[in-house]
A and B are shown apart, each in its own frame.
Chain A
Amino acid sequence: MLTDLRTWLLLVRAWLRAAAQYPASFALLMTGSFLVSGLDVAAILVIFSHVRELGGFTLPEVMFVYGTAGVSFALANLFAGNADNLGAYIRSGDFDVMLIRPVSAFVQLGADRFSPQKVGRLAQAAVVLAIALPQLGIPWSRAWMIPLMILCGFVIFTAIWAITGALQFLLVDAPEVSAAFTFGGGQLTQYPLSVYGADLVRGVTFIVPLAFVSWQPALYVLGREDPLGLPYALRFAAPAAALILSLLAALAWRAGLRRYRSTGS
């Protein structure tokens, strides 16, 4: 684990050094992505200028759900988001090169072509969370959940990236399928799930465990009833969901690697 983090940091430092040769482009990319992801928040503000609540939640509460899910997603995107492009690495043969180095190929893939845009997205989500928190007056007895839920969300998103990446060993031309789950999941979790239909919420609770990224632990932190009446214990199930999903992801990635066919040269 720590070795993987070290590897990731080493590779990202190298990419940042390469990117820093063009400082203006570096700064523009970062501000650009900060502003573009800011439009998401603008959309929420527009909604609240017309209604007082969304799915039964007030503006600061929605911003809390948005911020925690957004930080988890942005961290996972930072770490592993490039796994969406695995198919291109396989076709070009660059994945072979990653496989001859003595470090995890998944980590190398995640760090490759690291772009400062991803930092802008993280900063934006963190700002939203920082604005929401003081308005909510969450007691310390429940606030301990916040860092834990962000960590679990990060693990869940990273695992989804690994699983959809592993699928690309079989379906080399399917980055869009991957993005549907990764970026789609990122978008979905940014709103209180009560705005969606009940069947969808059950689906993302028990099948693809996205409800544990922000929704279930957020109900606990905000001290709210579950609008769908699902069991109270689910609010504490995020670590279990993260653990199970990451085990599945590790298995899927290994199975994918064993089926790897390389290119014909």
Chain B
Amino acid sequence: MIELDGVSRTFTVRHRERGRLRRRAQVVEAVRDLSFRVEAGEFVGYLGPNGAGKSTTIKMLIGILTPTAGRIRVAGLDPSRRRTALARRIGVVFGQRTTLWWDLPLKDSFELSRLLYKVDREQYRRRLDELSERLDLGGLLSTPVRQLSLGQRMRGDIAAALLHDPDVLVLDEPTIGLDVVSKAAVRAFLRGLNAERGTTVLLTTHDLGDIERLCRRVMLIDHGRLGFDGTVDELRATVPGEASIEDVVARIYLGSAPAPSLEPPNYPQ
């Protein structure tokens, strides 16, 4: 369902040095020579320290960023060339930012999504009923998005990403900032979605609880390369003894040499 073959992405960052007018260009490799496959129906956690290349990978998978080298296929399509066609086949949730329309009531946002994704009206109604029941959105549908709490908004975002019944759901830090109850609700929903509908799920997270409770497979990226790829138990077994998953992951993160800045460049705010 998702295939990466030797994918790299570099960014050119310009530094202004003191006392010099010319800026020095530095090439930063956010992702280097990355290859993996995710089969249909898998539930994969994508882990890595800040700046390891997680978001860059996700943005290449959904067609926002064009890779510098290598080949990507998602649902059989090249994401950067067939971005809009791919958008109908995948759902995307950003934990840090909403894809809903801020000033519109939740149900108007959903209706607008329906029209943009060209989802059949009858199919949409059934899907919306099911999603609002499972995500407990019933009482929120006429509330403008800006008035929703973070947990409510996240559930709304997940529903919006699934209205067109995508084959793949990609989530970038979906549980960031959520309280324990909201987190549990999101996790339970995602598990059900994967088990019952067979939707392929790929999520990035810093919350190892997400990994332990949800993901059958873990991929760990560091310095733009895949450092580990296997089940949660295999990950734990890399460190002998009674180590917790936190310890194991911390050891892998720290074990690597100190990272040069691998963040994609930040534009001045």
Q: Which residues of A contact B (CB under 8 A)?
A: 7, 10-11, 14-15, 17-18, 90-91, 93-94, 96-97, 99-104, 172-173, 258-265
- The answer, among B65, B83, B101, for a CB contact under 8 Å with A261, is B65
Give the distance in Å from the alpha carbon of A262 to the alpha carbon of B64 in the complex.
Answer: 8
Task: Please name all residues of chain A whose beta carbon is closer than 8 Å to the beta carbon of B62 when the two chains form the complex.
Answer: 99-100
* Contact of B116 with A262 in the complex, beta carbons under 8 Å: no
- The answer, among B85, B101, B268, for a CB contact under 8 Å with A173, is B268
CB proximity of A131 to chain B, nearest CB, Å: 37
Give the distance in Å from the alpha carbon of A258 to the alpha carbon of B87 in the complex.
Answer: 17
* Contact of B116 with A102 in the complex, beta carbons under 8 Å: yes
Give the distance in Å from the alpha carbon of A157 to the alpha carbon of B59 in the complex.
Answer: 32
Interface residue? B96 (CB, 8 A): yes
Give the distance in Å from the alpha carbon of A97 to the alpha carbon of B269 in the complex.
Answer: 18
* Contact of A14 with B84 in the complex, beta carbons under 8 Å: no
Given A17-B104, A262-B59, verify A100-B264 contact (CB < 8 Å): no
Task: Please name all residues of chain B whose beta carbon is closer than 8 Å to the beta carbon of A263 when the two chains form the complex.
Answer: 264, 266-267
* Contact of B99 with A97 in the complex, beta carbons under 8 Å: yes
* Contact of A14 with B108 in the complex, beta carbons under 8 Å: yes
B contact residues, total (Cβ < 8 Å): 36
Task: Please name all residues of chain B whose beta carbon is closer than 8 Å to the beta carbon of A260 when the two chains form the complex.
Answer: 64-66
Give the distance in Å from the alpha carbon of A263 to the alpha carbon of B56 in the complex.
Answer: 10
Give the distance in Å from the alpha carbon of A17 to the alpha carbon of B266 in the complex.
Answer: 35
Task: Please name all residues of chain A whose beta carbon is closer than 8 Å to the beta carbon of B88 when the two chains form the complex.
Answer: 102
* Contact of A14 with B267 in the complex, beta carbons under 8 Å: no
Task: Please name all residues of chain B whose beta carbon is closer than 8 Å to the beta carbon of A17 when the two chains form the complex.
Answer: 104, 108
- The answer, among A97, A102, A258, A262, for a CB contact under 8 Å with B80, is A258
- The answer, among A91, A99, A101, A261, for a CB contact under 8 Å with B264, is A261
Interface residue? B156 (CB, 8 A): no
Q: Which 4 pairs of residues, A with B, have the shortest CB-CB distance? A: A102-B87, A18-B103, A264-B264, A264-B263
Task: Please name all residues of chain B whose beta carbon is closer than 8 Å to the beta carbon of A94 when the two chains form the complex.
Answer: 97
User: From A14, which residue of chain B is reached at the shortest CB distance?
Assistant: B112
Chain B residues 124-162 with CB under 8 Å of chain A are none
Given A10-B115, A100-B62, A101-B116, verify A261-B269 contact (CB < 8 Å): no
* Contact of A100 with B65 in the complex, beta carbons under 8 Å: no
Subset of 17 A-B contacts with CB under 8 Å: A7-B116, A14-B104, A93-B96, A99-B62, A100-B64, A100-B99, A101-B84, A101-B87, A101-B99, A101-B117, A102-B117, A261-B264, A262-B59, A263-B266, A263-B267, A265-B55, A265-B96
